[in-house]
Chain A
Amino acid sequence: MIVCIKQVPKAQEIQVDPVTHTLKRVGVPSEINPPDRHALEVALQLKDRHGGEIIALTMGPTVFTQSLDRAMAMGVDRSILLSDRALGGSDTVPTGLALSEAIHKIGKFDIILCGEETTDSSTGHVGPGIAGHLDLPQITYCVDVQIVDGKVRGKRAVEDGFEVWECPMPCLVTVNFGCNRPREPSLSGKIRVKRGGLVTQWSAADVGLAPGKLGLKGSPTVVNRVDTVVLPARGGKIFKGEPSQTVPELVKALRNDKIAGV
Chain B
Amino acid sequence: MPPPESKGVWVFLEQRRGRLRDVSIQIIGEGRRIADEMKVALSGVMPGWKTDGLAREAVEYGVDKVYLVEDQRLENYLSRPYAKVMVTLIRKHKPEVVLYGASKNGRDLGGRVHAIIETGLAADCVKFEVTKERNLDMIRPAYGGRSLAHIICANHRPQMASARANVFKRAAKTPGREGSIVREKVDFEDRDFDTRLVEFVESKGQQGAKLEDAKVVVAGGYGLRNHANFRMVDELAKLVGGSVAASRKAVDAGWFPKEYQVGQTGKTVRPEVYWAIGISGAVQHLAGMQESGKIIAINSDPNAAIFEMADYGIVGDLFHVVPELVKALKGSRR
Q: Which residues of A line the B interface, CB within 8 A?
A: 11, 14, 16, 21, 23, 91-93, 96-97, 119-133, 137-141, 153, 156-168, 171, 176-178, 219-229, 231, 233-234, 236-244, 246-248, 250-251, 253-254, 257, 259-262
B198 — nearest CB in chain A belongs to which residue? A164
Starting from the known contacts A220-B119, A225-B150, 17 additional A-B residue pairs (CB-CB under 8 Å) come to A11-B144, A16-B143, A123-B121, A128-B79, A132-B111, A137-B194, A138-B80, A140-B111, A160-B16, A163-B197, A223-B149, A227-B150, A237-B313, A239-B315, A246-B315, A254-B312, A261-B216
A93 contact from B109, B115, B137, B141, Cβ within 8 A: B115
A95 — nearest CB in chain B belongs to which residue? B115
Contact A129 B114 (CB under 8 A): yes
**Distance of A23 Cα from B146 Cα, bound (Å):** 13
Contact A247 B325 (CB under 8 A): yes
Contact A96 B115 (CB under 8 A): yes
Contact B203 A137 (CB under 8 A): no
A233 — nearest CB in chain B belongs to which residue? B308
Contact A221 B313 (CB under 8 A): no
Contact B143 A166 (CB under 8 A): no
- In the bound complex, residues from chain B placing their C-beta under 8 Å from that of A243 are 314, 316-317, 320-321, 324
The 14 listed contacts between A and B (C-beta, < 8 Å) are A93-B114, A129-B115, A137-B80, A137-B194, A138-B195, A159-B103, A163-B199, A167-B196, A171-B195, A176-B258, A178-B251, A236-B307, A243-B320, A244-B324
**Distance of A3 Cα from B80 Cα, bound (Å):** 21
Taken residue by residue from 24 to 68, chain B's Cβ proximity to chain A (1 for < 8 Å, 0 otherwise) reads as: 000000000000000000000000000000000000000000000
- In the bound complex, residues from chain A placing their C-beta under 8 Å from that of B153 are 220-222
Contact A236 B312 (CB under 8 A): yes
B308 contact from A11, A153, A231, A251, Cβ within 8 A: A231
**Distance of A137 Cα from B239 Cα, bound (Å):** 47
- In the bound complex, residues from chain B placing their C-beta under 8 Å from that of A121 are 142
A219 — nearest CB in chain B belongs to which residue? B120
Overall SS of chain A's interface: mixed
Q: Does B172 contact A (CB under 8 A)?
A: no
Contact A229 B329 (CB under 8 A): no
- In the bound complex, residues from chain B placing their C-beta under 8 Å from that of A253 are 312
Complex interface: stretch among B174-182, B224-232, B294-302: B294-302
**Distance of A90 Cα from B253 Cα, bound (Å):** 33
**Distance of A165 Cα from B105 Cα, bound (Å):** 13
- In the bound complex, residues from chain A placing their C-beta under 8 Å from that of B16 are 160
- In the bound complex, residues from chain A placing their C-beta under 8 Å from that of B308 are 231, 233-234
Q: Does B241 contact A (CB under 8 A)?
A: yes
**Distance of A63 Cα from B80 Cα, bound (Å):** 36
Contact A157 B259 (CB under 8 A): yes
A93-B114, A167-B195 known; A239+B314 contact, CB < 8 A: yes
A16-B147, A132-B115, A260-B273 known; A234+B198 contact, CB < 8 A: no
A91 — nearest CB in chain B belongs to which residue? B120
Overall SS of chain B's interface: mixed
**Distance of A243 Cα from B317 Cα, bound (Å):** 8
Contact A122 B114 (CB under 8 A): no
- In the bound complex, residues from chain B placing their C-beta under 8 Å from that of A228 are 146-147
- In the bound complex, residues from chain B placing their C-beta under 8 Å from that of A120 are 143
- In the bound complex, residues from chain A placing their C-beta under 8 Å from that of B272 are 260
Contact B314 A246 (CB under 8 A): yes
**Distance of A261 Cα from B239 Cα, bound (Å):** 7
Instruction: Give the shortest distance, in Å, between A241 (CB) and chain B (any CB).
Output: 8
A159-B103, A161-B200, A250-B325 known; A93+B242 contact, CB < 8 A: no
**Distance of A139 Cα from B111 Cα, bound (Å):** 12
Q: Does B13 contact A (CB under 8 A)?
A: no
A247 contact from B149, B258, B324, Cβ within 8 A: B324
Contact A165 B310 (CB under 8 A): no
Q: Does B240 contact A (CB under 8 A)?
A: yes
List the 7 shortest-distance A-B pairs measured between CB atoms, nearest first. A128-B111, A261-B240, A220-B120, A129-B115, A132-B115, A221-B120, A125-B111
A16-B147, A159-B103, A161-B203 known; A251+B79 contact, CB < 8 A: no
**Distance of A260 Cα from B242 Cα, bound (Å):** 10
**Distance of A93 Cα from B150 Cα, bound (Å):** 18
A178-B252, A227-B147, A246-B321 known; A139+B195 contact, CB < 8 A: yes
A153 — nearest CB in chain B belongs to which residue? B198
**Distance of A226 Cα from B149 Cα, bound (Å):** 4
Most buried by A among B80, B195, B296: B195
**Distance of A70 Cα from B27 Cα, bound (Å):** 42
**Distance of A246 Cα from B328 Cα, bound (Å):** 11
A128-B79, A226-B148, A247-B325 known; A165+B197 contact, CB < 8 A: yes
**Distance of A191 Cα from B145 Cα, bound (Å):** 39
Contact A168 B111 (CB under 8 A): no
**Distance of A92 Cα from B122 Cα, bound (Å):** 9
Instruction: Give the shortest distance, in Å, between B3 (CB) and chain A (any CB).
Output: 12
B131 — nearest CB in chain A belongs to which residue? A224
Contact B107 A92 (CB under 8 A): no
B103 — nearest CB in chain A belongs to which residue? A159
Q: Does B20 contact A (CB under 8 A)?
A: no
